[in-house]
Structure 1
C-alpha cells in the first residue's frame, strides 16, 4: 500500500488510460496473480496501488505474469480471482458468460451487456453497450484492471457492472520475446509466439497465436488463430503515439443445451438439435487503433485515441424443422474515440474525459438447412451512437482524508430501423465518495453513486412486449451505496492482504429477456419496475513464511462473492430471486512455494444453487470442484501442470434462462469434466 494518501495523489498525474500505459512501460517486476496492495520501490506496483488507493470503491488488478503459470484460455480463467464477478465458461473458449454485480442476468446472454470492455483505454464494447462476438484474448494482456459498478467512472463507463481494461505489453516496456505452449485433455492445443524490437524512438511487438480444441462434448470443436501487434513512436520527450492492430479468425461448433434427463444420462453428449442444425459461432474480426499521449508538464497531461473494428458473424443457432430455424449472418462495425485531460492543482487532482462511439449492425436472419439453402426472413439494420462526458475531482481535504466526487453525462441514440424503433437516451449521473487512510497500509472507503445503462440494439430488437407494435425500452438506472476496506499486514517475513466491499443498490427498469414460447430460440425483452442488487465481495491472500529465511512459503488465496439479487415487490414475480448468478461462489487455492521457483497445491470451487427461471421453479444444483496445480519457474523458462475437477463431477456451468422453465427444457450447458493441461514458457 501507499505510505499515505498524499503519495497516492501525487502518483496519480496521468489519466487512467495513460496511467495504464505507463504501468506496462515501467519495469518487468512480477506481481501476484491478483495484486491489490503494496507500493514498494517498483514504479509499476506503486502506480497500480496509487490508482486503486485513489478510488473509493472496489477495483482489482490482474497481472498477466501469473496467468502464464496456469491454464488460461477463457475470461473465466483470467478473472477467477476477481470478487464480485460471476464468470462461467461456455461450450468452448469464446463462449463465456460474465456478470458484474448482477449485470446481464438475461435470458438471451448473446449480447453480453453490462460491462464496458476496453483495450489500452480504448473501447471494444460497442456503442450500445453490447459485447456480442467479443473475443478478447486473455494472454494478450499484461495487466487487467477491473473497476466494478460505478467505480468505473474514471473510464466514463455507462454500464451497471463497470469496466474492464485490458492493458497490452509493448517492446518499449521490456516485454520479453517468448514462446508459450499448452497441451491438455479433450484435444486442447495452444501455441503462442511473441517477438519485439526497439530502435531509438521506435518499437514494435507482434504476437501470433493458434488454438485447437476437440471438446469434451459432441459437436464442440474450436479452431482459432489470432494476430496482435502494436508499434510506438516517441515523437518528442513528452509526446508518444502508438498504433494497434488485431485480427482474429474463430470457428467453433456449439453443442447446444441439454435437458435435465439428458444431462443426467450423459453430460458429454451434444444436443440432437445442435448436431442436426450444425450450430456454430464463427467470427472474423479486425481492429485498428491509435492512442497519443502528451505530458504537458509535471502537473497536467492530455491523451486522445480512436479505434475502428469490424466483426463478421456466422451463427446458426436454432434448428427445429419444420417449425423454425435461425441463422444469424451479420457484420458489426464499431468506431470508438476517447479524450482525457488531467491536471493537478494543489490538493486537487482533476480529470475530464470524453468517450464517443458509433455502431452499426447489418445483415439478416435466415431460415436454413445445414449445407443446403437458406431463406432470409428478417433484415438487420441497426445503429447506435453514444457519448459519455465525465468529470472527476480527487481532493485531499485533510490529512488522511480524500474526497472523490464527479458526474457523468450520457447521451445515446438507438435505431432498429426494421422495427421502426428510434429513441434517444440521456442522463446525468453523479457520484460522491470518501477515502480514509486508517493506517499506512489500510484504507476505509464509502461512496454513493447513480448507475445508468441504456438498452442494447439486441434488446430493442427483441422487444415485443408492448403489444402488436414494439415499443421502446426504458434505460436501466439506480442508486448504489458501497462501503469497503483494503489493506495489507506484515509480520516478520509473512504478509497478508485483503479487499472487502459491501454494496446495496435499487434499480428501476432493469431489462430482462424472456424466452418466447411461440418461437423457441427467440426472446422478448421487458423492463422490470424495481429490483435489488446487493452483495459482499471479499478477497483474502497471504504469503506465510514457514522458516526463518523465508525460502519455504505457504500462499493461500480466497475469493468469496455473496449475491443478493431479487425482484422488489414486482406484480408478477413478487420478491423472487433473479436467475443466472449463484447466491454464493467461493474459489481458492493453497500453494506451497520454494525460493527455487517450485510451487504446488490444491485448488477448489464451491458454487451455490442458481435459478434458471424468473419464477424460481427450476433450480440448478450447487457443486464443489477440486483440483491441483504445480510448476517450476526460472528466469528463462517455466513449466506448469493444471489439473481440474479431479473428482470428475458432473455439474452445470451455465444455462439459458426462462420465464418459467419446464422440467424438460433443453437449457443446460455442462461444465468441463476431469482435465489436465501441461504448459511451458520460454523467454529469450
Structure 2
C-alpha cells in the first residue's frame, strides 16, 4: 500500500501543477479555395481534440506550449499546422487544409524535439516500413468502450485470436499464427513487451493476465519474424504495449466501469509537463464475481513513468509498475453439463451425471500472482539520422498457482535482469538497425500437495536458471521511391539449467484421498543443463506504388526454445491423488520456415490489411492435458506440421456527411489451417485454434456526440479439441451492441455482450485423443473438456478528462 500512496502523491502533484497552464485554441479550417471545411478532425499527440463544424470553426483547451495540429478528414487527406498556446489566453488561427497528403505527419514540438516517439502517428509511419503483417491498436478510444481485459483491447484485429477462459482478467489464450496454442494455460509462444522491454520471464514464459493495456497509448503487434529487433524469433512474434506519458495524457482522467456479475473497473490517471520533465501516473482496481461458481477475480496496479530531457541529444525515461492479480479457476465441463448449466463446476469423478474431471469444489484451483518492474530507457541522438538506445530493466514476481490435487500447488519466485542496446541510422539509401538483447533470470520453484485447496507438504524444490544473448542486424535499402529491400539476421543463444534443492528426492510425498493420508514415491534428483542456438534470417521486399497502398513479400526462419514450464513434468495423479512422478523433459527447440505475402492500403471508401502465410514447422512444441484435464505433458512433434492461413481486416466508409455523421463497417476474417503432414495424425487438424473466425462491427457517429455500435463474433464450424479430431467445440455466433455520448471532457457508454445469451464454449482443453475413462459407465464424451463462455452481460462506463 505504501507504493500506491506514493503514486497517489504524484497524481496530486500532477493535478496541482496542471490546472494553471491551459490556454484555448480557436480556429477555422478552409480549403485551398478558401471554402470553409466541416467534419475535419483536429489532433494533438494522437488525441482527438475537436471536429470542425459548419463553416469550419473549432475550439478546445490545451496545455501551454508549441505544438503541431494534425488534421484528418475521413481516410483521404491530412495536413499539419504549428500553433503556440499561451496560459489563460485564446490563440486564434486560420488553417488552410491542403489536400493530397495521405498520412498524418509526425508530431513536432518546437522546443527540444521529443526523442521518445510515443505517438500513434509515428508508429503508423514506422510500421509501414515493415514488409510483413503487423497491427497498431490505438487505445485513445478506451473512454468509449469496455477496456479492462486483453480481449477488450485486441478485438477486431487481423491475425489475432483470443479465447477467453473465465471471462475476466485471468489467463486467456492468445493466438498469433498458432504459436504457443498448445500450452494449458497459455504461457509461451509470443514475446510480450512494455515500452520495448520484455514482460516475459527470461525462460520465455509469461503470466498473460498481468498485462495492463489500460496504461497504454497504443499496442503494436509484429506477427511472426517481423519482430526480430525485439529479441523475438518465435512463430507468433511480439506484442508491445507503449505507455502513456506526460505528453500524451490529460492532467487528470477518471474512468469508472461497472456491470454484470458485480464487475467494476476504476482507473485514476494523470500526466503533466514541468519544464524538461514529464510525468505520468495511474492507479487501477477491478473486480468481478464472475459468471460461474468459483469465478472471482481481482486486479490492482500502479504505474509511474517519468521522462527528462537533458538536451536535444540525450533524453531518458524511468518506468515502474506494480501489479497484483488473483483469480479463481472454474475449470472445464463436458458438453452435456455445459448445456444444462454453464455456471456449474466439476466435482471430480461422477458416474451418475456422468462426468469425469477435476474436483473444483474440493480443490479450489486459483492463481495469485504479483509482479514489480522497474526500467530505464535512454536515447542518445548522434545526429539527425542516427540514434542509440540503452534499456535496463529488472522485474520480480511471486506466482502461486493452486492446481487441482493431480498436480498440486506450484510456487514460483522470479527474478529477471536485462539489457537492450539498439542502433538506428540512415545513410544514403540505407536504413540500418542493429543491437543486442541480453537477459538473466532465476526461478525458485517449489511444488506442494493440494489438500482441500490449501498448500500441503512439499514434493519438489528446484532452482531454475535461464540466460539469453541475442544479436541482430537489419538493413532496409531503398532501390527507388517505390521499391525497398529488407535483409535481417538474428543470432540467439539460450541456456536453461535445472538444479535440485529437494533434500530427499527418493522419498517425495503425495496426498491420496483414497487413503486420506500421504504416501511417498521415488524420483531421482532433477538436474538439467542445456544450450540452444538459433540463426534466424529474414528477407523481404516492399512495393509502394503510391503513398496510400503497399504490397510486400518476405521469407524468414523462426526459432523457439522451450520454457521451464515445458521442461519440468509431473504425472501419475488423478482427481483423487497427487502426482507420483516428476522429471525433466529433454526437449528440442521449435523451428519453422515461413513465407508471407500481403498488402495494406486504402482508397476513397475502403481500407484493408491482408496477409497470407505458410510455415513449415519442425519439432513443434505440443502440450496436451491428460485424461482428467488437469496436468499436461509436453513433447516435440515427431511429424512436420504446417501452419498456413489468411489474416484479413477491412474497413468500409459507408457514408460521411458535412454535419459530422458517419457510418463505418469493419470486419476481420482469420483463416487458420494448421495440420499434421505425416505420422499417426496425418492430415488431422492441430487442435487449439478454429479454422474460420470472423468478427465485425457497424459504427455510427452522430454530430451531437452520440455514437452507437453493433458487433458480432462468429465461429462458423465445429473445432476439434484433440489431435485425433474426435471431440469438437460447437460453432457459435455472438452479438453485441453499444451506445454512448461524448463531449470534450467526458463520455458515457453502455455495452452489452452476448445479447442473445448464447450457450457456447469460449475455449477448451487440448489433448492428443480423448479415450474412454476407466469407469465403464463413462465415455469420452463425458470427460470435462470445455470452458463455458460468459452469458449475457452489461457494462456501463463513465469517463472524465480534466
TM normalised by structure 2 equals 0.78
Which string of whole-angstrom CA distances, capped at 9 and with x for unpartnered residues, describes residues 22-68 of structure 1?
Answer: 98998797999x99x96134534542232122100011100111233
Q: Are residues 1:506 and 2:613 paired?
A: no
CA shift for structure 1 position 497: 1.0
Secondary structure of the structure 2 residue equivalent to 1:572? helix
Q: State the distance in 2 between where 1:540 and 1:138 align.
A: 24
Q: 1:29 to 1:520 in 2, by over 3 A?
A: same
What SS class does the counterpart of residue 648 from structure 1 fall into? coil
Aligned-partner SS, 1:229: strand
Q: Distance in 1 between matches of 2:150 and 2:768?
A: 28
Residue 735 (structure 2) pairs with residue 626 (structure 1): yes
- In the TM superposition, residue 275 of structure 1 has moved relative to its aligned partner by 2.4
Q: Alignment partner of 2:417: what SS?
A: strand
Report if aligned partners of 2:169, 2:298 keep a CA contact under 8 Å in 1: no
Deviates more, 1:88-97 or 1:117-126: 88-97
**What CA distance in whole angstroms lies between the structure 2 residues aligned with 1:29 and 1:143?**
18
Distance 2:435 2:758 in 1: 48
Kept in 2, the 8 Å contact 1:159–1:452? The answer is: yes
Q: Distance in 2 between matches of 1:625 and 1:560?
A: 15
Write the distance in 2 (CA, Å) between the matches of 1:256 and 1:290.
40
Asked if 2 retains the 8 angstrom alpha-carbon contact of 1:209 and 1:225, the reply is yes
Following TM superposition, by how much is the alpha carbon of 1:224 offset from its aligned partner in structure 2, in angstroms?
1.6
Go from structure 1 to structure 2 and tell me whether the alpha carbon gap of 1:242 and 1:276 turns closer, same or farther (over 3 Å shift): same
Aligned partner of 2:293 in structure 1 is: 218
Q: Name the structure 2 match of 1:664.
A: 782
Alignment of 1:153-168 (within 5 A): 153-168=228-243
Partner residue in 1 for 2:189: 114
Aligned equivalent of 1:544, options 654, 658, 662? 654
Q: Deviations over 1:88-134 (max 9, x none)?
A: 12213122111110111215234x21110110111111222111365
Q: Which residue of 2 aligns with 1:638?
A: 747
Moved more, 425-434 or 520-529: 520-529
CA distance in 2, matches of 1:383, 1:175: 42
Whether the 8 Å CA contact 1:463–1:525 is kept in 2: the answer is: no
Work out the CA distance in 1 between the residues paired with 2:294 and 2:69: 42
**Matches of 1:383 and 1:53, distance apart in 2:** 38
Alignment of 1:452-463 (within 5 A): 452-462=559-569
> Aligned in 2, Cα 1:450/1:31: closer, same or farther, shift over 3 Å?
farther
Shift of 1:174: 4.5
Contact 2:70/2:105 (CA < 8 Å) preserved in 1? no
Q: What does residue 497 of structure 1 align with?
A: 607
C-alpha spacing 1:405/1:463, structure 2 compared with 1 (3 Å)? farther
Check whether the contact 2:173–2:185 (CA below 8 A) recurs between aligned residues. yes
Query: For residues 48-87 of structure 1, what are the structure 2 equivalents within 5 Å?
Result: 48-87=123-162
Tell me if structure 1 keeps the 8 A contact 2:170–2:297: no
Size of the aligned set, in residue pairs, is 649
- The question of 1:291 aligning with 2:377 is answered yes
| Residue in 1 that maps onto 2:507 | none
Tell me the distance in 1 between the aligned counterparts of 2:454 and 2:222.
46
Cα-to-partner distance string for 1:123-147 (whole Å, 9 max, x where unaligned) = 1112221113651112111110011
**Residues 638-667 of structure 1, C-alpha deviations (whole Å, 9 max, x = no match):** 111111111000111111111112322222
Q: How big is the shift at 1:325?
A: 5.2
Match of 1:451 among 558, 575, 585: 558
* Aligned counterpart, 1:6: none
3-state SS of the aligned residue for 2:782?
Answer: coil
Give the Cα–Cα distance (whole angstroms) in 2 for the partners of residues 293 and 23 of structure 1.
Answer: 22
Given that 1:23 and 1:47 are in contact with CA atoms closer than 8 Å, whether structure 2 keeps it comes out as: no
What is the match of residue 561 of structure 1? 670
1:292-338 deviation line (CA, Å, top 9, x unaligned)? 1111110100111111111111221113xxxx451112212222221
Instruction: Find the partner of 1:275 among 361, 385, 388.
Output: 361
SS in 1 for 2:620: strand
Structure 1: distance between partners of 2:226 and 2:544? 18
Counterpart of 2:5? none
Moved more, 390-399 or 43-52: 43-52
CA separation of 1:172 and 1:470: change in aligned 2, threshold 3 A: closer
**1:581 matched residue in structure 2:** 689
1:618 Cα deviation after fit: 0.7
- The offset of 1:550, in angstroms, is 5.4
Q: Is the 8 A contact 1:300 1:344 kept in 2?
A: yes
- Is contact 2:202-2:440 (8 Å) kept? yes
The structure with the largest alpha-carbon Rg is 2
Distance 1:373 1:185, change over 3 A: closer
Whether the 8 Å contact between 1:401 and 1:434 is mirrored in structure 2 is yes
Tell me which of 397, 404, 411 is aligned to 1:311: 397
| Partner residue of 2:432 out of 350, 355, 359 | 350
Structure 1 residues 371 and 488: alpha-carbon distance in aligned structure 2, compared to 1, 3 A threshold: closer
2:180 matches 1:104: yes
Distance verdict in 2 for CA 1:107–1:147, change over 3 Å: closer
**8 Å contact from structure 1 (residues 589, 603) kept in 2:** yes
Describe the superposition over 1:480-528 as per-residue Cα deviations: whole angstroms up to 9, x where unpaired.
00000000112xxxx42110000011010001023345x8622221111
User: How many angstroms apart in 1 are the aligned matches of 2:46 and 2:126?
Assistant: 11
Distance verdict in 2 for CA 1:236–1:463, change over 3 Å: farther
1:478: which partner in 2?
Answer: 592
Deviation at 1:551, TM superposition (A): 2.0
Q: Which moved more, 1:181-190 or 1:98-107?
A: 98-107
User: Matched residue of 1:211: which SS?
Assistant: strand
CA contact 2:165–2:787 (8 Å) conserved in 1: yes
Please state how far the C-alpha of 1:287 moved relative to its aligned partner.
0.8
**Equivalent of residue 649 in structure 1, options 755, 758, 767:** 758
Find out whether 1:420 has 2:532 as its counterpart.
no
Single out whichever of 557-566 and 78-87 deviates more from structure 2. 78-87
1:674 shift after superposition: 0.4
CA–CA separation in structure 1 for the residues paired with 2:404 and 2:659: 58
CA contact (8 A) 2:362 2:453 kept: no
Query: Deviations for 1:553-611, whole angstroms, at most 9, x for unmatched residues?
Result: 11111111000111111x22112111111001110100111233211121101024221
Alpha-carbon distance between aligned partners in 1 of 2:536 and 2:159, rounded to the nearest angstrom? 22
* Paired residue secondary structure (1:539): strand
Partner of 1:40: 104
Residue 254 to residue 373, structure 1, CA distance change in 2 (3 Å): closer
Out of 391, 394, 397, the position equivalent to 2:479 is: 397
Q: What corresponds to 1:430 in structure 2?
A: 537
SS of 2:472's partner is strand
2:649, 2:276 → 1: CA distance? 41
Asked whether the equivalents of residues 603 and 626 of structure 1 are also in contact (C-alpha less than 8 Å), the reply is: yes
